[in-house]
Every structure is written in C-alpha cells, then in structure tokens.
Chains A and B, each alone.
Chain A
Amino acid sequence: MPPDTLSDSPESDVTSAVTFKDTELTLGIPGEPTRSPAGKFCTKRGFIETVDLNLRTSTSKPRGKTHADEVDDKSDDVVSGACKTPASKTQVVGWPPVRSYRKKALESCKYVKVAVDGAPYLRKVDLETYNSYQELLMTLEKMFTCFKIRGNYLGESKVIDPMKEMEYVPTYEDKDGDWMLVGDVPWKMFIESCKRIRLMKSSEAVGLAPRTPPRCTTTT
C-alpha cells in the first residue's frame, strides 16, 4: 500500500508540504508533479551550505538543507543513473553525524619529521601547509640553510632549475615503511602516505636514475 499522497491528508500543513515537495531530492527538473517513492532517485547534488541558507531573508524560501536555489541555477548539474559521487559536493552541516572531536582527530595533522644526513637534530614540518612539492622543498632549504636540495622533480606547474647545486636527495618513508624518492606521485597522494622525510646525501643515491624534468626554463 503506497503511502498517502498529499491530497489524502487534509490536516497537514499544505503550504509546508508543498514547499518541501518542491525541494525534494529528485532527478527531475523542479516544478514536475509529485513522484511516487519509486521515482525518488537519489541525486548527488550538493546541499547548500548553511551559511547560504541563513543569508536568505525571504520567508517564502523553503526550509531545510535543500538545493532549491541551486537547482534553478544549475539545472545542468543533474547526475543521471544510479548514485555516483560528483566531483564537487558541498557538505551538509552536521552530516555525517560524526563528533567534532573525532573529525578533528582524524583530520590529517600531517606533521612529519625531517632528517638531514649529517645534521645534529631533526625538524618537523606540517605537510598540510604546503600545496606543492616546490613549496615544501623551498621551506626545507630554508630550514637547513647549509644544504642545497636537489629539486629534480615534476612539479605541478613550476620546476626548480635543474642546474642548481645538488647535494641532497629528498626521500620519504611511506605508509608501508618503504623509502621512496620525493616527487614521483601527485602531491595529494604524497601527503597521504608520507610518514617522514630524509634528505639523503647524493653520494648515497648512487645507482638511482635521477628524474629528468621536461625541458622547462621556469624558475622559482
């Protein structure tokens, strides 16, 4: 037995029910007649951030964390078929229901130790504060000012001048405990898996083919 439709429940607040129905999660264009539950496909549209909702002053706007306004602007945003995660998805406040303490704890607090062969003590850097290999290596250079770091890698946009003096090779220990050359994987993947960094003397890196960046003259 299908659930009652709006017309069978005269007591319910028609205004509120209509506005909610209008803003229900569906695949179709807003303004279509009410659908049966079978037609309620999930859409992976983003929900409007609460901040946006709070700024709306008109009382005719529907309540609830819905995408009503977004639908008008971005009708081409509809995702068809079974639920696929879209590229960008704004977050609903308080969802998923995970305690903020837990959220903070699991946030990548990516402080990793940096060791340089020959230096008397280690340093720590927060990988989250950098956006690219270049930024990281530049900071490391400043931290260990006596040493010049080989910046031979495929950066996201810029490439360090390969003609720079090369004494140390940046390496890192990944989640599996293996020592890897910095720069092979995309930056995001790197910060996910990097456990600690070691600047290895170039002389120890004998036998490892250096990465050759494309011929590019862009400098820092």
Chain B
Amino acid sequence: MMNYFPDEVLEHVFDFVTSHRDRNAVSLVCKLWYRVERFSRQRVFIGNCYAISPERLIARFPGVKALTLKGKPHFADFNLVPQDWGGYVQPWIEALARSRIGLEELRLKRMVVSDESLDVLSRSFTNFKSLVLVSCEGFTTDGLAAIAANCRFLRELDLQENEIEEKKNHWLGCFPDSCTSLVSLNFACLKEINLAALERLVARNPNLKSLKLNRAVPIEALQRILMRAPQLVDLGTGSFVLDRDSDDSETYRKLKATIQKCRSIRNLSGFLEVAPRCLPAVYPICLNLTYLNLSYAAGIHGSELIKLIRFCGKLQRLWILDCIGDKGLEVVASTCKDLQELRVFPSDPFGAGHAAVTETGLVAISSGCPKLNSLLYFCQQMTNAALIAVAKNCTNFIRFRLCILDPAKPDPVTMQPLDEGFGAIVQSSKRIRRLSLSGLLTDRVFLYIGMYAEQLEMLSIAFAGDSDKGMLYVLNGCKKLRKLEIRDSPFGDMALLRDVGKYETMRSLWMSSCDVTLGGCKTLAKKMPRLNVEIINENDQMEFAHEDSQKVEKMYLYRTLVGPRKDAPEFVWTLV
C-alpha cells in the first residue's frame, strides 16, 4: 500500500520517526523506504568511529546535519587505553567539509580533537550551531577561539570534562559583538577565563538558558552575571567563594537577592570551591530543582549537604560525593520522592581511604525513592541482603552500576559472593540495559544475568567469575548485548571462540588481564573478517609476536565495515 504514496508522503511520515534505532529499522523494510529514509535523515549516531568511514557516511546520508561520534573504548576513562591509541576527528571534519555537507551539530565523545580540526570546522559550515565535546583531548583554547570567532550562528558550546590546554589568548573575547544567539555555554573544565569578556558575552545573549562557569568565576562575578541572565534554566556556578573579606555581607546580600530572581533554574551544578556560609543563598532556588550535581563540590560537607538537600523536594537527578554519608542518603530518601537517578561518587577517587557510604544508604534510598531507575554507587561494602531489598523496592532499574571500592570484596556479613544480590537485581528489573558489577562474584552471577537480563546492552565486569562458563552464560543469554568490557577475570579462548558470530551483533568487546591468548585472538580474527581484533601491547612488540600461547594483556575488538584502521599506532596490532 505504501508503495503508492509519493516519496514526499513517506518522508513526512518518517519525520515523526526520530530515534536512531527506529530509523534504522525503517530503512530495512524495503529498497524504497531505504532510499527515502537515507535522503531524509538529518541526525546520525556513530557509536564507534572506526566501524564506518566518513566517506560512506556521506554517501549514504547526504543530508546529515547533526552527527554524534564516539572514539575510544569506555575503559579509556580509567587509563586502561594508552595515549595515542586513536579516535581522531580530523578525517571526519575534512571529509564533511570537502563534501559540502551542511553540518550544524557535532557531538564527540572520547575523541582526539586538534586545534586544526576546530579551525576547519569553524570555517567550513556556515550554519554550524552546536558543538558538544565530552571527555575529549588534544586541543587548546586556540581551537575554541576559532569556534568563537567564525561560527556566526553558534547556539551551543558545551565542553564537558575535557583536557584542554589553556593559552593566554582570551578566547572568549573572540566572540564578535554580533554574537547574540548563544543558548548554551559550558566551560567548567577550564581553569581560567576572562571575566570581563564573559560578562559582556552574557549581557548580549538574552537567549542563554544554560551557563556553566568555571573555577575562575568568584561569587561577585556570578552575581553580576545572574543579574544579566535571570532566565537561566541550567546553572553551573564556578567558585562559590568570596573574593574579599571586607565586602562579605554586602556581596552575600546581593547574591541572595539576585538568585531569588532566577526562578527558572531547574539544574544546578558547580560549587568547585565553596564558602559554606554562602550556601544558604541558593536555598530559595532549591525548591524548583530537578537536577542537582554536587559531585565536584568537595568543599561542602555532610551537614551542609544535608541542609541543602532538605530544600530539594522536587529532585529527579542527584549527583553527589560520598561524604554525604548513609545518614545523608536517608535524608535524600525522605526528601526526594521523585528521585529517578542517583550517582554517589567517591570523595577520595584514589580509593585509598574509606568511602563514607555503605549498603545502609542504598537500602534507604531504594525504600524512599521507588522511582529510582538509574544508579551509580561507589561504596565501602555491600551485602546480598541489601541488594535483595533494593531489588524488591525498585523494579525499574535501567542502569545499575555498583562499585565496591575494594575489588572482589565479599558480603562482609556472610562472607559470601554477591551473586545472589546482583541476581535479584536483574531478576526484578526486567528492563535493565546497563550493569556494572563489583565485589566477589562467581560464575553464578553470570548465570543469572544470562537468564534474566534480556534487555541488557552494556555489561562491565572486573575481578569476577571463576571460568569460561561465566562469560558464556552472558554471551549466550543476553541477546541484546552491545558492549561487553571485562578486566582481570579468568575468561579465556574457549569462551571467546565459542560463538564468533555473536560479536557482529555487538558494537565491541574489551578484555584486559584475562586469559585469552594471542592464538585465540588470531583464530577469531581469521574467522571473522568484519571484526577488527586489536591487540594493545605497550611492551616489547617483537617478543610478543611469536608466542601464540601467550596471554594477551589488552584486546579490543569491534565490528566494522571498513577493515583495519590505517591510523593505528605501533603498539596496536590489528590481527587479520
């Protein structure tokens, strides 16, 4: 029936199909739909920049306006991937520029971005509107200056947790006076900023809805900025400290008055340094907050945190440090009844000290916040009983990431592994998509995961399992698995090679410090030409090359349509 509709009608219908997966499904129905879909697709998501080439992207989707690219594997966040592994955005930007694609939005995660790339980007796409860089590196504020100077219609510049080298160039001043289109600006990851340029910029951009400042912005400047931008919805304060003692009470009074006018703020973050006495100034806006991120606010202590949170009755997402303690989490549980997402980060990220939260806090949260669906919890310890209670209280987990700071730690009460606890979680949360395990775990937990986690897409394993059976349970049972990352677990060639076709249904597999051997990886690579099997070996390559029985320190494999990448460094060996 649909064959008799003109293409425009099909296209119009497809306009309502927005998710990437749905559009991918649409394109598989028939050749006609494939054709119409591909010309009309504007937003493209590429989860692994090495799975496809920029040329093929452009060939298939000539109308692409918004592109998301991800580079390095997730474990790169934790220093498990050496520097210079790859993930360069340059070839993508060059290809898009050459083909005169009308790119408007670019979102990059874990990629290497150079000043040159940013310069080319800023000059090649006249309607460029939005640049979002998450956990990227390789560029300096010179690159930002190019973006500021050349992107005349820039709406969004969002820099999240990037490593940026800062030059003395006052890049912010490169925004021309004619730049009045900014909606979102986030430079929290920088150390310096030109305050005068910032204030002028905010003053001439009345549509600014999201502003995240950095450490270099003290309270006095924050107050002046908020005076200019009471319409903000999303605020990241910089340093919440006063500059000079003498103006203490006057500045505080002004700040309090100004903040009270900012009735639209729903998301609050920052507090990179804090003068605790000034915190009460934000109490009035706490009532409206739906997202509060205090995970970098090391200067706010337990009791102050708790006082603040008591005002936040409408919170849906909360990111905090573990110095809130179990008692603080109990307050969250009784105050934030609409809580959906909780992330508790370690205030001592080097893991040498004591996390201040335990299973008690988590059980309290689950009891008070039944809508909880997303959890990241770094803690001192966990028990099966607690996890079972959490599973009973909250059956809607989509993301469940638990990190017990001491690797392979058992239930401290029973000294048992945590298999039963995690098993309860996956059994009760039928829609779980992402899971990170920790603590002492045997093959049994993987049996449960394979049995119950039918929607699981991403699984992170560390120091867990007894044998290949564990990994096999997961590979066999989790039909929707896309990303599997494993470190320091006794899974070897038998598990790796049992079902080689599985990996083409997944985005990637990472295994480090496991029992897979070079021979096993070679066998896999030979059988599956559409996988890149990369061996990352930072040590002596020559010694390594001849021992098939040698265990592989780091293996990263991913499906790809374009064969081994040409930009691999010396220490990466792609097996064929």
Interface residues of A, Cβ cutoff 8 Å to B: 3-4, 6, 9, 11-13, 16-17, 20, 25, 37-38, 40-42, 44, 47, 54, 57, 59, 63-65, 82-83, 85, 89, 91-103, 105-106, 175-177
Judged by a CB distance under 8 angstroms, whether B86 is at the interface is no
Cα of A82 to Cα of B351 in the assembled complex, Å? 18
Residue of B nearest to A11 (CB): B494
> Contact at B462–A98, with CB atoms within 8 Å?
no
CB distance from B296 to the nearest CB of A (A): 6
Residue of A16, A25, A105 most packed against chain B (CB within 10 A): A16
Given A12-B492, A93-B80, answer yes or no on A3-B349 (Cβ-Cβ < 8 Å): no
List 7 A–B pairs whose Cβ atoms lie within 8 Å, in order of A's numbering: A12-B469, A16-B492, A37-B442, A97-B77, A98-B349, A98-B378, A177-B277
Judged by a CB distance under 8 angstroms, whether B199 is at the interface is no
Judged by a CB distance under 8 angstroms, whether B280 is at the interface is no
Judged by a CB distance under 8 angstroms, whether B490 is at the interface is yes
Chain B, 55-99, CB within 8 A of any chain A CB: 75, 77-80
> Contact at A100–B79, with CB atoms within 8 Å?
yes
List of A residues within 8 angstroms of B570 by Cβ: none
Given A9-B469, A37-B417, A93-B80, answer yes or no on A59-B494 (Cβ-Cβ < 8 Å): no
CB distance from A164 to the nearest CB of B (A): 28
> Contact at B494–A41, with CB atoms within 8 Å?
no
Judged by a CB distance under 8 angstroms, whether B208 is at the interface is no
CB distance from B575 to the nearest CB of A (A): 19
Cα of A94 to Cα of B73 in the assembled complex, Å? 14
Cα of A95 to Cα of B405 in the assembled complex, Å? 8
List of B residues within 8 angstroms of A98 by Cβ: 78, 345-346, 349, 378
Residue of A nearest to B495 (CB): A12
Q: How many A-B residue pairs have CB under 8 A?
A: 146
> Contact at A92–B354, with CB atoms within 8 Å?
no
Additional A-B contact list (20), CB under 8 Å, known A54-B538, A100-B78, A100-B79: A4-B466, A9-B467, A11-B468, A12-B467, A12-B469, A13-B493, A17-B492, A40-B410, A65-B488, A91-B352, A96-B346, A98-B345, A98-B346, A100-B77, A102-B296, A105-B296, A106-B347, A106-B348, A176-B276, A177-B276
* The one of B161, B345, B415, B467 that contacts A6, using a Cβ cutoff of 8 Å: B467
Interface residues of B, Cβ cutoff 8 Å to A: 75, 77-80, 135, 161-163, 189, 272, 275-277, 295-296, 298-299, 301, 345-352, 354, 378, 381, 403, 405-410, 412, 415-417, 436, 440, 442-444, 460, 462, 466-469, 487-488, 490, 492-494, 513-515, 538-539, 543, 547, 549-551, 553
Cα of A97 to Cα of B163 in the assembled complex, Å? 18
List of A residues within 8 angstroms of B162 by Cβ: 101
Cα of A126 to Cα of B272 in the assembled complex, Å? 17
Residue of B nearest to A62 (CB): B551
List of B residues within 8 angstroms of A65 by Cβ: 488, 513
Cα of A12 to Cα of B75 in the assembled complex, Å? 27
Which secondary structure dominates where chain A touches chain B? loop
> Contact at A101–B298, with CB atoms within 8 Å?
no
List of A residues within 8 angstroms of B492 by Cβ: 12-13, 16-17
> Contact at B299–A59, with CB atoms within 8 Å?
no
Given A54-B538, A95-B462, answer yes or no on A63-B443 (Cβ-Cβ < 8 Å): no
> Contact at B462–A89, with CB atoms within 8 Å?
no
Cα of A72 to Cα of B550 in the assembled complex, Å? 23
CB distance from B161 to the nearest CB of A (A): 4
* The one of B295, B354, B403, B543 that contacts A96, using a Cβ cutoff of 8 Å: B403
* The one of B75, B513, B543 that contacts A63, using a Cβ cutoff of 8 Å: B513
List of B residues within 8 angstroms of A59 by Cβ: 547, 549-550
Cα of A99 to Cα of B550 in the assembled complex, Å? 30
Cα of A85 to Cα of B137 in the assembled complex, Å? 36
Given A3-B443, A63-B515, A103-B350, answer yes or no on A94-B468 (Cβ-Cβ < 8 Å): no
Cα of A114 to Cα of B416 in the assembled complex, Å? 53
List of B residues within 8 angstroms of A47 by Cβ: 407
Given A42-B409, A175-B299, answer yes or no on A16-B488 (Cβ-Cβ < 8 Å): no
Residue of A nearest to B189 (CB): A101
Residue of A nearest to B551 (CB): A63
Given A3-B444, A105-B296, answer yes or no on A96-B410 (Cβ-Cβ < 8 Å): no
CB distance from B244 to the nearest CB of A (A): 9
Given A63-B515, A106-B296, answer yes or no on A101-B163 (Cβ-Cβ < 8 Å): yes
> Contact at A102–B443, with CB atoms within 8 Å?
no
Given A59-B550, A97-B77, A103-B350, answer yes or no on A3-B406 (Cβ-Cβ < 8 Å): no
List of A residues within 8 angstroms of B295 by Cβ: 102
List of A residues within 8 angstroms of B553 by Cβ: 63
Given A54-B538, A94-B487, answer yes or no on A101-B442 (Cβ-Cβ < 8 Å): no
Cα of A91 to Cα of B407 in the assembled complex, Å? 11
CB distance from B400 to the nearest CB of A (A): 14
> Contact at B494–A63, with CB atoms within 8 Å?
no
List of B residues within 8 angstroms of A16 by Cβ: 490, 492, 515, 551
CB distance from A71 to the nearest CB of B (A): 15
List of A residues within 8 angstroms of B276 by Cβ: 175-177
Residue of B nearest to A104 (CB): B163
* The one of B80, B163, B444 that contacts A94, using a Cβ cutoff of 8 Å: B80
List of A residues within 8 angstroms of B515 by Cβ: 13, 16-17, 20, 63
List of A residues within 8 angstroms of B378 by Cβ: 96, 98
Cα of A26 to Cα of B377 in the assembled complex, Å? 26
> Contact at A106–B298, with CB atoms within 8 Å?
yes
Cα of A182 to Cα of B378 in the assembled complex, Å? 35
List of B residues within 8 angstroms of A100 by Cβ: 77-79
List of A residues within 8 angstroms of B299 by Cβ: 175
Given A63-B514, A94-B80, A101-B135, answer yes or no on A44-B301 (Cβ-Cβ < 8 Å): no
List of A residues within 8 angstroms of B408 by Cβ: 25, 40, 42
List of A residues within 8 angstroms of B407 by Cβ: 47, 92, 95
List of B residues within 8 angstroms of A103 by Cβ: 349-350
